[in-house]
Amino acid sequence: SLFFTFTCFSLSSFLSNITLSLHIPFFHFQSPLHQSFSPKSMDWGNVTAEDLVDALREVDWSSPPRPLSEFFSRFTVPRSSSKWNSRLKCNLYYYRTNYFILIVSVLILGFLRRPLAIVAALLTALSIAFLNDSFAGTFSEKVTRTVRQFSPHLAAKMRPPLTPVIRGRPSAKRAIYICGRPRWVFVLIFSSASFFLWFVSAGLLTVLWALAIGLLATILHASFRTPNLKARLNTFREEFRAVWRNYSEL
C-alpha cells in the first residue's frame, strides 16, 4: 500500500512538472485538437515556399545557433527531387539562425574591402527606417533633445509645426516631421547620399557578390545536410506550440 501510494504521487508530480513546463493545463491534452496531431503531419513536401516564409517571419529568431558539431555533422546526397525539396525546407527552418549569421559574416568580409560601402549601407538603412513613423518620431525627438542641451534657440526651431484642430480632431492626417522638416526631405537626402557613395565605392557590386556567395553556401548546406531526428522533433514541437497558441486565442 505504501509503495502504491508513493508510485502514484511520483507519477502525478512528473505529469504536473510537464504541464507547468508547457504552460498549459493538463486536461487539454485530451482535446480533439491535440489528438489530431502526430509527427507525420509535419510533411515538408506539402509546405509551400509562402508557408515557409510566413513561418520564418513569425518564429522566434532569438534562439541561439546550433552547435558547429551539429551544423557540420553529416552530409548526404538526396535520393530524389522530392527528398531534396523536403530537406531544403526543413534545414532552412531548423538552421535559420546559423544561416543568418553565415550571410552576415560574408557581408562583413565583403565590406572590409570597401569602407565607404559600410557608410553607404548605413545611410541606406536610415533612409528606409525613416519611412517608419515610430522610428522617425523617436529619431527626431532624440536629436532635438541633444541639440537643446547646447542651443535651446535652435532646438525650438526644430519643433514640428502645430496641426490645426477642428472640433477636437485634426483637420488633416498628421504629417511626420523630422527635426522640423518634412520626412521626405531626410529620406531624399540620405537616399541621394547613399546612392552617391554606392557609386563612388563601387560597393553595390560587392554587396551583390557577397549576398550571392552567402545564399549559395546556405542552399548547398541545406541541400546536403541530412536532417536528423532532433530537427524533425523540433519542427513538430514548434508546429504544436504555434497551433496551441492559436487554439488558446479562440
Q: Which three cell numbers stand for residue 125?
A: 538603412
Please compute the mean of the pLDDT values over residues 73-88 and round it to a whole number: 88
Average pLDDT estimate for 185-213: 87
Q: Where are the alpha helices (DSSP H) in 149-182?
A: 152-157
Q: Rounded CA gap, 118 and 126, in Å?
A: 12
Res. 219 pLDDT band, cuts 50 70 90 = very high
pTM over 0.85: no
pLDDT of residue 3: 42
* Cα–Cα dist 228/232, whole Å: 7
Extents of the domains making up the chain: 74-114+203-239, 115-161+175-201
* Cell numbers placing 182: 518634412
DSSP 204-224: HHHHHHHHHHHHHHHHHHHHH
Chain segment 17-71, per-residue pLDDT in tens: 444 444 433 333 333 333 333 334 456 667 777 777 777 766 666 678 888 888 8
Identity at 78, one-letter amino acid code: P
Q: What are residue 181's DSSP bridge partners?
A: 178
pLDDT at residue 189 above 90? yes
Distance of alpha carbon 231 from alpha carbon 41, whole angstroms: 15
The per-residue pLDDT of the chain, averaged, comes to 72
Contacts by residues 138-141 (CB-CB < 8 Å, ≥ 24 positions apart):
139/178, 140/177, 140/178, 140/179
The per-residue pLDDT for 223 is 93
Strands 165-166 and 177-178, bridge-based pairing: unpaired
